[in-house]
């Protein structure tokens, strides 16, 4: 497996390996300081980024390499050079490519042409680095993953929800997504995740009732309601539609006492989550953010040492 474009490309064994590697990098951050010595990793960001940009740059540095951050105005893509040509050129200079952009097809085209590993650092459809981080954080807190229940509250059709659902299915977890009508996850994505969950002893459920979703949950998870580029009318509409899906103290009280709160950040306090919850004693949101670093190290190491098998 040369690239990591989406969680569904991984096998259950691949996911388990990434979590073990990430745990190792938590314990020994500088365990592989020579892997990327004398090599660069271009990081192309067409979207703003805080955690992904910094954690991936730090991961490359800890592995001995030099991260090179690039934006849309710093390459020749806007002057007509194709993605495939850009990929071939980068492949002559670099050890791997990290890309955060809009269309999944752009990342797929880059990976098809590049002779080196390509890592999806977020697209409109997927966020695999976040999902690996999320499961790492859950395993770190609870000690294991199997049969723990994640209740995702909010926009079930977004990239974070989809990648988390795919990862939970591979790990044999129970995943329930609570979203309003019109924002439920795609039926084909749910069907695929359910098939995988059935193979590994987990389950995937979709509901419109957030209170029912958090019952029996180990993790209550949410993400922003508003996307970059939404019009003012769309933003106002989403605030109205999602008002009943805010993760507040009342909703957390409906979950078991040992349930934790998670958020991939950035958070819009007072919208999808209250300040009391995200800053409260049950919140793992900032531990989760810190874990982006060892997760990125694990993915880079696994791809560069050809450790991932992929789905067969």
Could you tell me if 45 and 81 lie in one domain?
yes
Candidate list 155, 162, 246, 264, residue with the active-site label = 264
Candidate list 6, 51, 53, 100, residue with the active-site label = 100
pLDDT at 228: 66
Candidate list 127, 149, 162, 194, residue with the active-site label = 127
**Would 29 be classed as within a structural domain?**
yes
Could you tell me if 68 and 146 lie in one domain?
no
**Would 309 be classed as within a structural domain?**
no
3 is catalytic: no
223 is catalytic: yes
Cα(244)–Cα(204) distance, integer angstroms: 22
pLDDT at 226: 85
90-125 in b/e burial notation, b at 16+ Cβ within 10 A?
bbeebbbbbbbbeebebbbbbbebbebbbbbbbbeb
Number of domains in the chain: 2
**Would 160 be classed as within a structural domain?**
yes
Could you tell me if 182 and 251 lie in one domain?
yes
CATH number at residue 107: 3.40.50.1370
Could you tell me if 80 and 168 lie in one domain?
no
**Would 207 be classed as within a structural domain?**
yes
312 is catalytic: no
Q: How far is CA 296 from the centre of its chain?
A: 11
Could you tell me if 165 and 285 lie in one domain?
yes
**Would 223 be classed as within a structural domain?**
yes
130 is catalytic: yes
What the block records as the tokens of 303 is 């791809």
pLDDT in tens, 111-155: 999 999 999 999 999 999 999 999 999 999 999 999 899 999 999
Candidate list 3, 14, 51, 130, residue with the active-site label = 130
Could you tell me if 176 and 230 lie in one domain?
yes
Considering the entire predicted model, what is its pTM?
A: 0.97
307 is catalytic: no
Could you tell me if 180 and 276 lie in one domain?
yes
What the block records as the tokens of 239 is 């605030």
pLDDT at 201: 97
pLDDT in tens, 202-258: 999 999 999 999 999 999 999 999 876 677 788 899 999 999 999 999 999 999 999
Candidate list 155, 194, 223, 238, residue with the active-site label = 223
Could you tell me if 146 and 234 lie in one domain?
yes
**Would 1 be classed as within a structural domain?**
no
Could you tell me if 13 and 147 lie in one domain?
no
The mean predicted confidence, pLDDT, of the chain is 96
263 is catalytic: no
- Structural domain boundaries, residue 210: 128-289
Q: Does 312 have pLDDT greater than 70?
A: no
Q: Which of 16, 308, 36, 23 has the alpha carbon at shortest distance from 170?
A: 16
pLDDT at 235: 86
Could you tell me if 237 and 248 lie in one domain?
yes
pLDDT in tens, 284-294: 999 999 999 99
pLDDT in tens, 3-59: 999 999 999 999 999 999 999 999 999 999 999 999 999 999 999 999 999 999 999
**Would 95 be classed as within a structural domain?**
yes
Q: What string of H, E and C letters represents the secondary structure of the chain? A: CCCECCHHHCCHHHHHHHHHHHHHHHHCCCCCCCCCCCCEEEEEECCCCCHHHHHHHHHHHHCCCEEEEECHHHCCHHHCCCHHHHHHHHHHHECCEEEECCCHHHHHHHHHHCCCCEEECCCCCCCHHHHHHHHHHHHHHHCCCCCCEEEEECCCCCHHHHHHHHHHHHCCCEEEEECCCCCCCCHHHHHHHHHHHHHHCCEEEEECCHHHHHCCCCEEEECCCCCCCCCHHHHHHHHHHCHHHCECHHHHHCCCCCCEEEECCCCCECCCECHHHHCCCCECHHHHHHCHHHHHHHHHHHHHCCCCCCCC
**Would 311 be classed as within a structural domain?**
no
Could you tell me if 115 and 224 lie in one domain?
no
Could you tell me if 164 and 108 lie in one domain?
no
């Amino acid at each position: 497996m040369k690239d990591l474009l989406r969680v569904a490309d991984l096998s259950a064994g691949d996911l388990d390996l990434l979590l073990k590697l990430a745990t190792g990098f938590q314990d020994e951050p500088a365990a592989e300081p020579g892997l990327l010595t004398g090599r660069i990793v271009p990081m192309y960001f067409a979207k703003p980024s805080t955690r992904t940009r910094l954690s991936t740059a730090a991961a490359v540095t800890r592995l001995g390499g030099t991260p090179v951050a690039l934006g849309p105005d710093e390459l020749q893509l806007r002057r007509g050079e194709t993605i495939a040509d850009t990929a071939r050129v980068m492949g002559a200079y670099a050890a791997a490519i990290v890309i955060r952009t809009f269309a999944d097809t752009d990342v797929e085209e880059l990976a098809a042409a590049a002779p080196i590993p390509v890592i999806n650092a977020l697209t409109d459809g997927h966020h695999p680095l976040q999902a690996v981080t999320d499961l790492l954080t859950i395993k770190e807190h609870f000690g294991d993953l199997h049969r723990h229940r994640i209740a995702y509250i909010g926009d079930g059709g977004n990239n974070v929800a989809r990648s988390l659902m795919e990862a939970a299915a591979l790990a044999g977890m129970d995943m329930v997504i609570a979203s309003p009508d019109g924002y439920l996850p795609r039926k084909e994505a749910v069907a695929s995740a359910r098939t995988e969950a059935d193979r590994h002893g987990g389950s995937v459920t979709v509901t419109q009732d957030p209170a029912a979703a958090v019952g029996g949950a180990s993790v209550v998870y949410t993400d922003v309601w508003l996307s970059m580029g939404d019009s003012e009318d769309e933003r106002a509409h989403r605030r109205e539609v999602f008002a009943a899906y805010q993760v507040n103290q009342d909703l957390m009280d409906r979950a078991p006492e040992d349930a934790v709160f998670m958020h991939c950040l950035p958070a819009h306090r007072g919208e999808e989550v209250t300040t009391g919850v995200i800053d409260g004693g049950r919140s793992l949101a900032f531990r989760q953010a810190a874990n982006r670093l060892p997760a990125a190290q694990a993915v880079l190491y696994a791809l560069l040492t050809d450790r991932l098998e992929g789905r067969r």
